[in-house]
Amino acid sequence: MAPTIKVGDVIPKATFSYVPYSKETADVHACGIPQKLSTDEWKGKKVVLFSVPGAFTPTCHINHLPPYLTKYDEFKAKGVDVIAVVAANDPFVLDGWSKALGLGDKIVALSDTNVEWSKQLGLTLDLSGLGLGIRTSRFAIVLDDLVVKYVAEEPVGTEVTVSGADAVLAAL
């Protein structure tokens, strides 16, 4: 299924759950308190948003997220204000994943509970056959003041091409 969101569209409003980074809860044995983040907070900002089907899953954990962290300074040099990863996992799992990968305050890990926002974008993946249910698909979106400037969904869910850090950097 092709995404229903297109370049030039304003993204639908959403409120994500996430555990903000803090030095006090940076240790993997510490638990932070989930907060809410509204897409309204991205007004006037350049945002790179990429989505993974699941934290700690092989492709997501090894091939998709790490290059975004490695190339963080390149994204910042291109005027990106926010880099965020979205997944269907709960905010505590995403917080643990963030700590395991050492994201710190560089990449925000957002929980798309019940893939509600991703459904609005037409960017979901049915992994019920693997016992994982409906997930966010593997995609990337570049926003400028909430307007989509780039959107791409991986044609094969286990590959990282059009949603990877290099492809997004080239699109900026």
Cα 165 to chain centroid, rounded: 12
Q: Give the span between the Cα atoms of 98 and 27, in whole angstroms.
A: 11
- Tell me which amino acid residue 79 is: G
Residues 6+ apart with CB under 8 A from 163: 50, 51, 64, 138, 139, 140, 152, 153, 154
Using an 8 Å Cβ cutoff, are 104 and 68 in contact? Answer: no
Burial class (CB in 10 A: 0-12, 13-18, 19+), 172: middle
Residues annotated as part of the active site: 60
Interior angle at CA 113, CA 117 and CA 160, nearest 5: 70
- The closest of 37, 15, 17 to 93, measured between CA atoms, is 17
Residue whose token pair is 């509970």: 113
Q: Give the span between the Cα atoms of 88 and 86, in whole angstroms.
A: 7
